[in-house]
Structure 1
């Protein structure tokens, strides 16, 4: 593809020269991708088609699945701040060479966020706020949340929009658990959940925060060392886990998320949760058990980022 032009110009010119690709590539757009996210991921796909010579438009194949998965991983890293094993990060960085994402989300440390919250109006965090970086990514970009942003929440139609995907994911997880001998403590819960999500052409979002940095937890727990992991898919909250390190926290979060798939169905709902000391409406995945679940405080809030974005449609 040509260089020296904007990404949209490059893509438009390329598709103009290869019109047979237009319908196929547009069919790969995710249900909840904004124009900005899709334009970037579409360019990633088209730039890298030639490195997967066995990819044939409209034909399912392992190469196509791999290219789609890598494009999701790259988009999740750029727009949601997700982190992956270093070999994967190196691979997507190489594949994305030459792609320019304008006004990409800015990563902000949790110390900077906390400092700004204590001193409203300050132009930045303390000089020594460059401690351990939270991996919450764009969900905490900008440091301060406006009341308007927090109150906006997911749109009323969001549960219905997301439900078809999670119905498919439910079937994939159910079959995977059956083949693994059922839900149990010896399973690699994250591997099962991640595999099923990726087979459905999506990716998990993992947000990590040090346990001691979460103000909404009970006082006794906040004194302990460790990490907290929150899992989302398509911006829908799935589970939270606590552990001595990120791997352990991710494993526990995956186990909690898989518990919802033990019932007869899963449902996407808008529920109330705590986020940075405030009540917000969040998209969550629940099972069919008749109870009023109490959710852990949210580590991320993607709907705030969308509200404060750049005119996303």
Structure 2
């Protein structure tokens, strides 16, 4: 109907009436986000702030970290077709219900991965993707061969930020707030991290001795690149251990983004991984999320 406000107009009007909130929220925009992606993720953040009662404007907190992580997971699913554990997918679907994304990609999902994507004029999160013809994606499975070189400049900047932060903190040690150091450095480079949590009992292919234990696993990514996995009695402990493992990568003379083989849903996939120069035992923890279209997964299940 003519004269009817769009959701984007309503959000803009609300932010115009709350300039301090607008300025604070804009600090969460990632360096690599397009206007369309940021407008959608900003609405996700604003809609869900009230669901985190301990969140305070302008104050870093675990609630804020949780909301930011969920917003990145939601955006990665909507715009990139990233797959996450079902509990995570259910959570972001609920949180994103009602958000309209203009010309959003449409992803055809199989049991094991993403087959392809097309576009539609507008979609509301929670709307069914069943039915209709879907455009076949021409993108190859896994990360593109040139991806490591594209991501390397960002991680070079992040390496310098982490190095200076650790120097000011007196060096790497067990008493550091590893997540806070990593989070502040990533945000200083105009990015945010995505954390995915899964109960230990739901993960296959874990290292020996962990499969029978209670607790959670946390995987941390930044710009779709895997940087660390941690195990703990709860989500907070798992996140702390994942952050500690991630910071260890920054202890060498440099960090390098490489394409490596990992296990996802029991199958070998190529993933972008941040590495240092230290020799490592072969293999990586199984991936909890996979941010790349992978047609081989579907072929393997057919």
For normalisation by structure 2, the TM-score amounts to 0.62
Q: 8 Å contact 1:136–1:209 — kept in the other structure?
A: no
1:260 pairs with 2:249 = yes
Q: 1:248 aligns with which of 196, 221, 237?
A: 237
Give the C-alpha shift of residue 143 in structure 1. 6.5
Relative to its length, the structure with more helix (as a share) is: 1
* Residues 30-66 of structure 1: CA deviation (Å, up to 9, x unaligned): 5543674145358899xxxxxxxxxxxxxxxxx9x99
1:77 pairs with 2:70 = yes
Q: Which has the higher contact order (CA 8 A, sep 6+)?
A: 2
Sort the Cα spacing of 1:282 and 1:181 in 2 relative to 1 into closer, same or farther, 3 A. Answer: same
Give unmatched runs, 5+ long, in structure 2. Answer: 12-27, 46-56, 94-106, 117-138, 297-302
CA distance in 1, matches of 2:280, 2:40: 41
Sort the Cα spacing of 1:181 and 1:156 in 2 relative to 1 into closer, same or farther, 3 A. Answer: same
Corresponding residue number in structure 2 for 1:122: none
1:201 pairs with 2:190 = yes
Q: In angstroms, what is the RMSD of aligned CA positions? A: 4.5
Sort the Cα spacing of 1:205 and 1:183 in 2 relative to 1 into closer, same or farther, 3 A. Answer: same
1:273 pairs with 2:262 = yes
* Residues 209-238 of structure 1: CA deviation (Å, up to 9, x unaligned): 000100112464211100000001111100
Q: 2:111 aligns with which of 108, 128, 144?
A: 144
- Number of positions where the alignment pairs a residue of Structure 1 with one of Structure 2: 233
Q: 8 Å contact 1:108–1:141 — kept in the other structure?
A: no
For normalisation by structure 1, the TM-score amounts to 0.60
Q: 1:238 aligns with which of 221, 227, 231?
A: 227
Give unmatched runs, 5+ long, in structure 1. Answer: 12-27, 46-62, 83-102, 114-132, 308-313
Sort the Cα spacing of 1:293 and 1:189 in 2 relative to 1 into closer, same or farther, 3 A. Answer: farther
Relative to its length, the structure with more strand (as a share) is: 2
* Residues 91-128 of structure 1: CA deviation (Å, up to 9, x unaligned): xxxxxxxxxxxx68999994xx5xxxxxxxxxxxxxxx
